[in-house]
Chain A
Amino acid sequence: MSKLKLIIHREFIAKVRNKSFLIMTFLSPVLMVVMGALVVFLMKKNDEKVKEIVYVDASGLFTKENFKDSKTVKYQDYTALGLTETKKKVEKGDFYGVLYIPKKDSLELLAKSIAFYSIDSPGMSLMDGLETRVETHLRNLKLTHFEIDLMQIKASEIASDIKMFNFSGEESSKLINGLKIAVGAIAGYLLMMFVMIYGTSVMRSVIEEKTSRIVEIIVSSVKPFQLMLGKIIGNASAGLLQFFIWGILLFVISIIASAVFGIDMVEMQASKIPEDQLNAAKEAVNPDKLQLILQEISRLPILKLFVLFIFYFLGGFFLYSSLFAAVGAAVDNETDTQQFMLPIMAPLILGVYVGFATVINDPHGPIATICSIIPFTSPIVMLMRVPFGVSWYELAISMALLIVTFVFMVWLTAKIYRVGILMYGKKPTYKDLYKWIKYKG
């Protein structure tokens, strides 16, 4: 076995055998799914509690027709009892709250003076529901006042779903755009997390070798460059392994979870959306639409995305972890790393911000395009752009630049690493690091 292979093997084994790796790998997907299921479960429980709301309509404009019961709210007409008495009942806890509609001269004035009384402050979705009900009825009243036929209005409502095409003949829709954003965002975010977690792991491993003073023994057998490269590759392999295990586990666990809890994934997504939109979403997810979503997902360039994710993960990881390795070599202990960490973390975080802020609005806008080509942000931003289709030459430039830059950075940081691992004592300054780069041999 060559020495580099030996080092990679050791680093990989050391990483994979570590307890925190095992816990992270096998527990976090379980935790994620369990948490998700728990949230859905609790929301379901929450929804099952029906709120009773009464209304006192002094204006006489509303009927029971306007306050149809929903799944979570039941309405009762208490106009006969009067506001003061009804309020007392609410205070006693007989009802959740009372909606008071006073008598006013104009509908405009009325719209502004309706009040809701309750002991707890009501949630957003409850108030939204009440407002919608009041607004709809008042609007209808006005329309009738203008002698406009309500039936005509209903009949004139029409929904449009503009289909989007690009010139490679792919059909897309808003729905698939949302999917693309989600896929890109998850890929980009995942990449940043992996680079950070495994980059710091490389750094820790360097610091450990330094503080345990074994490093001088190792570099009397292998070149420092080999040691650094072996570390980076070993950690990258561990990262990829973890990524694959997560993928498989998430798949298996979500199948099991959906079987056990009886929760399908669509509901899991939808449950975070307020009630009214939920209904809309449910309407949208009729069997035809579900078919469409599956079709659209299958039409996403999954293989391309996967290959690019691996490429940008490795490229980004090599680039950043070589920097992490140099930082680890420069310092004696982890507390000294902070001043060097900021400039490394900044472009990573910038990448994610740019990704979320600009790619979502305009995936091919100038900032998104530039950031997907600059090597320090390109792994994240490009991954977010890829689902929207990126021209081959932009991809080629971005990938080539990334390769060139990481080779250069590995070479440059190896120089700092080589000197740093044998330096103890004073915490180096940036000036020292520059001096180390210039040392011969």
Chain B
Amino acid sequence: MYGEYVSKKSNEKTMNNLLEIKNVVKTYGDFTALNNVSLTIPRGSVFGLLGPNGAGKTSLIRIINQITMQDTGDVYFDGKLLAPNDVEHIGYMPEERGLYKSMKVGEQALYLAQLKGLSKSEAKKRLKYWFDKFDISAWWDKKIEELSKGMAQKVQFIVTVMHKPKLLIFDEPFSGFDPINAQLIAKEILQLRDEGATIIFSTHRMESVEEMCDYIALIDQSNKIVEGKLDDIKRAFRTNTFQVGIATTNPREVEAKLKQLYAVSPADFRIINEGLKLNVTLKKGENPNDLLSFLTSQGQVQHFVELVPDANEIFMQAVNKNS
């Protein structure tokens, strides 16, 4: 278990955390969607909420958005129990999203901004800023049904962030975006974080997690199974395995010698010269330098890399272990 990361975090001052979820349980009839889930989301971070489909991510997000209520447990927002007015400080872009098709872009954005508590004049000012920034001012009087999907997604992003929420929740934000727009949105999300917003980022696309998240939590079958800083978790999931490649005249002999010292398995990776390619796993306490010096004594070392698990592997490992 990786409980030590949780306890390390909860030692920090509460005010450093924008959102704290404590022992939340949510059931729908006989089905348990969230089983005693606790999470701590540090202020100013990008927090990746990961998990397979149906794990309970959306249930948790809906509780944070007060769309549904938890059965038991507490949610603290900005140090206080989550209250109805807090919706004005949260921006939410659901996975299944859309806009009123027959409503004009500008009117619609104004309406949604006012629902988030902005005055009409303030909303207009902010919208002008964003529309200029994305260079879409010409769309103001167009109806959503006249826009392409990518264009509508930009509008969608703007209405999510325009009230400058403290907490932004993006559920699969890149689905439906082409790579160029996805890049643009990713950049904007990171900039919003740099300006002080806290971001919850729910996805099962792991490459974007590596790129964006400072912290992650993994939810599987209604339970949280991993939580912490992405780097810490990676460290915890490292297996002390090294990918090595050496050019030698007698690969069989070298392999046999290595097998006597370490756990060895065949590896497949690309190096320029042909040679022996192996995965070598060190036991706890063994020094990788010893392995390296042994290898240099056997031939020319061409490749020596520690296998650090990426988010995807952590995800797979944790989920497999859990089930």
- CB nearest to B111 among chain A residues: A10
The complex places the Cα of A212 from the Cα of B99 at a distance, in Å, of 6
A212:B115 contact, CB within 8 angstroms = no
B96:A440 contact, CB within 8 angstroms = no
Chain B residues, Cβ within 8 Å of A217? 92-94, 97-99, 112, 159
Shortest Cβ distance from A424 into chain B, in angstroms? 7
Sample of 11 further A-B pairs with CB below 8 A, known A216-B96, A217-B94, A422-B62 = A6-B115, A7-B115, A208-B101, A209-B100, A212-B98, A213-B96, A214-B97, A217-B92, A218-B112, A218-B115, A439-B28
The complex places the Cα of A222 from the Cα of B101 at a distance, in Å, of 20
Shortest Cβ distance from A10 into chain B, in angstroms? 6
The complex places the Cα of A439 from the Cα of B98 at a distance, in Å, of 26
B96:A221 contact, CB within 8 angstroms = no
- CB nearest to A211 among chain B residues: B98
For residue A3, CB closer than 8 A to chain B, the reply is yes
Partner of A441, one of B70, B100, B111, B114: B70
B87:A221 contact, CB within 8 angstroms = yes
Shortest Cβ distance from B54 into chain A, in angstroms? 13
B87:A220 contact, CB within 8 angstroms = yes
For residue B311, CB closer than 8 A to chain A, the reply is no
B71:A440 contact, CB within 8 angstroms = yes
A422:B97 contact, CB within 8 angstroms = no
B65:A220 contact, CB within 8 angstroms = yes
For residue A174, CB closer than 8 A to chain B, the reply is no
Enumerate B103-118 residues with CB–CB distance to A below 8 Å: 103, 111-112, 114-116
Chain B residues, Cβ within 8 Å of A7? 115
For residue A193, CB closer than 8 A to chain B, the reply is no
Chain B residues, Cβ within 8 Å of A424? 96
Chain B residues, Cβ within 8 Å of A441? 68-71
The complex places the Cα of A192 from the Cα of B267 at a distance, in Å, of 77
A6-18 vs B, Cβ < 8 Å mask (1 yes, 0 no): 1100100010000
Chain A residues, Cβ within 8 Å of B66? 220
For residue A374, CB closer than 8 A to chain B, the reply is no
Chain B residues, Cβ within 8 Å of A219? 65, 67
Chain A residues, Cβ within 8 Å of B67? 216, 219-220, 224, 422
- CB nearest to B27 among chain A residues: A440
Query: 9 closest Cβ contacts across the A-B interface?
Result: A441-B69, A213-B98, A221-B115, A212-B98, A216-B94, A220-B92, A220-B65, A213-B96, A214-B98
The complex places the Cα of A216 from the Cα of B95 at a distance, in Å, of 9
The complex places the Cα of A441 from the Cα of B100 at a distance, in Å, of 27
A219-240 vs B, Cβ < 8 Å mask (1 yes, 0 no): 1111110000000000000000
